[in-house]
Every structure is written in C-alpha cells, then in structure tokens.
Chains A and B, each alone.
Chain A
Amino acid sequence: MTDSLVLLSGFLAAAVRVATPLLLAATGETVTERAGVMNLGLEGIMLGGALAATLGATAAGPWAGLAVAVLVGMLLAALFAAVAIGARADQIIAGTALTLGAVGLTGTIYRQAYGIGGAGLALPTLAPLPIPGLSQIPLLGPALFDQPMPTYLALLALPLVWWVLFRTRTGLALRATGEGAAMARAAGVRTGLVRTVATVVGGGFAGLAGASLVLAQVGTFAERMTAGRGYVAIAIVVLGRWHPLGVAVASLLFGAATALQYVFQSLGLDVPYQLFLMLPYGLTLLALAGAVGRARAPADLGKA
C-alpha cells in the first residue's frame, strides 16, 4: 500500500472507533425518543456506565465490565423513568438533575475506590478482534472488521433496532406512543409501560456506550470523561432524523470529523489543533441546518 492509502485506512479505522460510543448511545436514544421521551440524562448514564465498566472490569475482567455497565445504565434510566414518566415530571429538568447527580456520584465513588492513583494500568481492556478474512479487505477491513467487541455490538444492534421499530407490533406501539400518546392509549397501548421500557433500553445502550469508551477507546476512567458525548449523541439522533440508518451515518460523520485531526497532525500541517476540536461540532450544526428542514421529531416528544 502507498502512504496515502495507509493514512486513509487509519483515518477510517479511527473514525469508526470514535463513532462507536456515540453510535451506541444514539441508537438507544433513538428508541427512547421514538417513544416520545427525551433523556438529557444520557450524559450522566454514559458516565455511570463508564465507571461501572471500570469497576466491573477490574473485579472480573472486561466482559463483566460490559455487563455491569449495561445493568447500571438500565438502572439509572429506570430512575429517570420513575421521575419523568411515572411521576410525569419535566423530562428536561429530570435529565439535567440525573446528569448532575451522576457527575457527583461517579467522581466520589471513583476516588473512594481508586484513590489518587486512578484505575489506569490495572484495568483490563478489550483488544481489537480481527474477523478472519474480512479484516484483510483493503481500506474498509481494518475500519469495520478489526475493531473491539463494542463496535460489532453497535453494528449488530442497528438492523435489530430498525427491525423492532419498523417491522413489529411492539415497534408500532412504540412509535404510536411517540407520535400521539393520547391516541395510542385510546387504541389500547399501555403508553406508560412502553415509554418506560424504551427509556430503560436506551439506558442500557448508554451504559454500554460508556463501557466502550473506557474499555475499547480510552483505557481508563477519568472524572467527567464523557465530556459531552451523551449530549452529542442526542444531537446525532436529531441529525439522523430518528432513524437507525440516519443515526449510523450521523455518528460516522461525527467520528470522521473528529478523526480528521489525527490525519492533519500526521501530515504536519501548522494549524491550531483547537480548530479540529471545534470541527465536529461545527459540522453537526451545519448538517442539522441542512437536515432538519425535511425531518420531523416525534410529535409527542418531551410531553408528559
């Protein structure tokens, strides 16, 4: 391979790696929002998942870390659901409070568990699992078929979520709840239950997203390490027009915009790195301006 091909291949692999946690969280949030619930606590749930993965992996290996993270994600989402759906409180406020609480709780527990030294070196992580044959495909092979487990889980979840949302009665009930809860109730759908389940499923995905950040990307936990990724995932859901396929494209777009900085760094261009940090957010805004005009949010999104 020539140098530029190596560079491009590395760029694509980095884009997918960066996109994975976003894709996981955004896929889950798509399910949640299709049922009419906007969970701004996603940021806090990802953070909780990240810490749970760290604790679980330290105690019993990376797989246990993944499982514990999903459970904690579901638990935190259930807490949000109890307040925002059960008690019909304002979703934006409840989500903000959950994130605030998660920042405090994870910071405290992390320091309590690991002291000043941090989890760092002792943490077992998930190495890339090359799929024999497929990972040898030039260019796309390393990006799609030589990644750690969470990336595969994210890619497998996409068609599954699409199928459930658009090809099953459950999915129909879920979308009906998001578009018009009153009508859905009249038609016999138990909308409270549907929204709660959709929120808890979304929480599981967000927990997994946090785990993938720790175990497959960064390799350690740090306070506030999600750094807004949960919020970005919510933007990605809007950008992807509440559709799994759109969400996948939007996540990759964001991942690519982030990965671009590695390319420019290796090319040795003399451009302030902060411009590249801004790039994904700027592009997302531009894309939202272009995409949203033709898309429509679920009609009952955010309504109690």
Chain B
Amino acid sequence: MAARTPLLAILLGLAVLAGGLQLAGYDAAAALTSLWRGAFGSWYAFSSATLVRAVPLIVVGLGIALAFRGGALNIGAEGQFYAGAIAATWVGLHVAGRPAVVAVTAVLVAALLAGAAWVLVPIWLKLRFGVLEVISTLLLNFVAESLVSLVVQGPLQEAQGIYPQSDPIAEVARLPLLPGTRLHAGLALALIGAAALWYVVARTLWGFRLSAVGAGPRAAEISGRIDARRVTAVALLGSGAVAGLAGGIEVSGVSYALFQNLSPGYGFTAIAVALLARLHPLGVVAAGMLFGALEAGAGAMQREAGVPAVTVYVVEAVVIMVVLLADTGARRAVGARVAA
C-alpha cells in the first residue's frame, strides 16, 4: 500500500475539487484541464512552474522530516526560511566581482547558518525551560515576517528607497539556470539533500538514534542509553539550517531579491509535504513535486478558468486527511493482528 494510498488520496482530492467547482457553478472539466496544462502541459510548464515551485517545498520538507523524525515539532520553517533569505540577500548584495562558485557558496552557507541561528532560541528555550518547540518555533515565524518587512524598508532597501524590496543580488551570486527554462540548480541541491538525508536516516547510527528518540525519548534513553535531548536538539538545528538553505536557494535561484511574501507559505505547505511522504526523504521529493504541480497548475487554473488558486489548498488538505486516515487504519489493523 506504500504508494497506492497517496495516489488514491490525490484522485479523491481532485474529485472533491471537481465536485465542489461544479456545485459552485464553475466549469470543472475546463478547470482541471487548465490545472493539468499549467503543471504538465509543456516542458516549460513542467520545468519552470512545477519544478521551480517544488524545490522550496522539497528542501523545507526535508528539514521538517528531519525534525519530526526526532520527535521535534518544528512548525517554524517559514521563519527559518525567511532568516535564510535575509542572510542570502545581504551576502548576495556584497559579492560582486568574486568568482561565481565563491559567491554562490557564500550565499547558500549564509542562508544555512541564518536558518540554524533562527532555531537556536527555540532549542535553548526547550532545553533550559522546557518550552514546547511547537509554540516557540511558531511564534518566531511572526517575528521573522516582521524582520523581513523591517530590513526591506531599512538596511536592505533598494537604492532609490521607494519600493519595500531589496536591490537584485549580484549576477555571480545567482544559481545557474537550465537553458531555455527558469529551472535553477537548486533542484540538484534538493535531490542531493534528499539522498544525503536518506543515507543518514537509513544507514547511520545517528539516524537510528534519531528514529529511536522519535519513537519514544524515554525508552531510547533507558534501553538505548541515548542522550535524547541532544539528539532532538541536533535534529532541530539541522532542520532550521535546511529550511534556511531553502530561503537562500529561493533568493539565489528564483527571486534574486528580498521582499515580503517571498514565500507563499512554503514553511506550512512543506509540513504537509513531509507528512504525506511519511517523513521518508525520497518520499519528500515525490510529495514536493506533487504539491509543486498542484500549485503551479492552480496558477493556470486561475488565469484560464477563473477559479481562485487557493482552492488547491482544499485538495492538499483532503490528500493529507486521506493518507492520515489510511495510515492510522493500517496501523490499527497491524496492531490488532499482533494482539490476536
């Protein structure tokens, strides 16, 4: 049932969408056709809409999978993404004249470090005061959004001082594009990251510890002599770093500048991506592409069929709910069999 359930969930989600649109008086067939065309209709649509949209979802989703696997509920990826984007922009504005390899590396490393730094406060609050990371990472999202607003009207504002956005970053700081498309090298980074995370989770001792802590910190400490607090802290730190990196990739590969609403909620949608993939790194790639396709198609649906793009969130919600219910049911069935 590994791959069948999500596929079934998607079909059900699209069926709900079609039914709802028909009821609301839209032409459901035309809307779904546009959705498909916008996501897969041409090489350009697939490469420059679907895949470009999928990259941040995959990268952030990997970070969330890492944290959730260790039992750390990082709901603050949106804030960490913005922290990374701010750092990437700042560095990207100051590297003109350097070799491209150096410039891009500097931008991405800055983003990685900023994302990690942003999650340090929740880690400290959790270890020192026992504050739930669900709450602290969440609250810092709002702080990060205000911080973006602050810097694009302050230190990072474009030279003329009119628009609330930064100047474009130096050419050398931009990720290379696939010729004829808007697809950038961030996709390669996302795929390498997924393979690396898969290796760590499935093939290393630390990955085993991570899963043990995620399954039950007390049991891991007692029977496995694992320092659960430390494992959780490292997972959160890595998670923040990866979400920050996603912000850097977005600036360096897509927007080339910083502004408010740079992320249309990647940090939250990526939670759904990671959960849909059942926290499996390679599954995150597939789920990220699926949601990327849905959101790319939604844009076309709005342009061509007049259906608001936000409707795809309903599809996403249905997909998550169906997978969630199927998994819970399967777990219970296994449990019943073991008990019997």
Contacts and interface: CB of A to CB of B under 8 A. Distances in A.
| A, B co-complexed | yes
B48 interface: no
Q: Is the interface of B mostly helix, strand, loop or mixed?
A: helix
Closest 7 CB pairs between A and B? A104-B313, A101-B317, A107-B310, A274-B150, A104-B314, A97-B320, A277-B146
Contact-residue bracket for chain B: 35 or more
Given A92-B73, A292-B131, A235 B138 contact: yes
A272 B135 CA distance: 26
Nearest to A276: B146
Contact of B129 (A92, A281, A292): A292
B125 A104 contact: no
A269 to B, nearest CB: 16
9 contacts: A87-B329, A105-B313, A107-B308, A108-B310, A228-B138, A235-B139, A278-B142, A282-B143, A285-B121
A101 B105 CA distance: 38
A87 B325 contact: yes
Contact of A272 (B121, B138, B153, B321): B153
Contacts of B125: 285, 288-289
A139 interface: no
A275 B143 contact: no
B318 interface: yes
A258 B175 CA distance: 40
A277 B146 CA distance: 7
A96 interface: yes
Given A97-B272, A289-B131, A89 B314 contact: no
Contact of A228 (B128, B142, B149, B153): B142
Given A97-B272, A289-B128, A87 B328 contact: yes
Given A235-B138, A275-B150, A282-B143, A83 B314 contact: no
B324 interface: yes
B336 to A, nearest CB: 13
A74 interface: no
A234 interface: yes
Q: Which of the four size classes fits the interface of chain A?
A: 35 or more
A101 B318 contact: yes
Contacts of A232: 139
B6 to A, nearest CB: 14
B149 A274 contact: yes
B183 interface: no
A96 B272 contact: yes
B24 interface: yes
Given A96-B320, A228-B141, A235-B135, A274 B146 contact: yes
Interface string B143-168: 10011011001100000000000000
Contacts of B129: 288-290, 292-293
A147 B272 CA distance: 40
B109 interface: no
Contacts of B94: none
A94 B324 contact: yes
A231 B138 contact: yes
B12 to A, nearest CB: 13
A90 B317 contact: no
Contact of B136 (A89, A228, A285): A285
B324 A83 contact: yes
A104 B311 contact: yes
B317 A97 contact: yes
Interface string B302-340: 000001101111111110110011011100100000000
